[in-house]
Amino acid sequence: MKLFQIAILISMLSCGGSPGPSPAAPEPVDESGKPQYLALGDSYTIGQGVSVDDRWPFRGRL
């Protein structure tokens, strides 16, 4: 029983502590007016087997 009480006491004391690191500041907003996008994918994302004009990088241009 005494061992159980000591274990509870140790676990209660170890729960306190300093808070974790503060979150990082958000990145600044780009106000250049240019559209931005992130294209994710593998080698087939470019449109293997289709003409260059129908591939994603070309079709994604504004």
Structure tokens at 4: 């159980």
Q: Which two tokens stand for residue 22?
A: 């503060």
Report the mean per-residue pLDDT for the chain.
76
pLDDT of residue 45: 58
Top mean-pLDDT range of 15-19, 30-34, 40-44, 55-59: 30-34
Percentage above 90 pLDDT, the chain: 8
Q: Is the confidence at residue 56, as pLDDT, over 90?
A: no
DSSP conformational letter for 60: T
Distance between start and end Cα atoms, the chain: 73
Q: What angle do CA 16, 18, 20 make, to 5 degrees?
A: 115
The residue whose two tokens read 């808070």 is 19
The residues spanned by each domain of the chain are 38-62
User: What does the block give as tokens for 62?
Assistant: 């504004």
User: Does 60 score more than 70 pLDDT?
Assistant: no
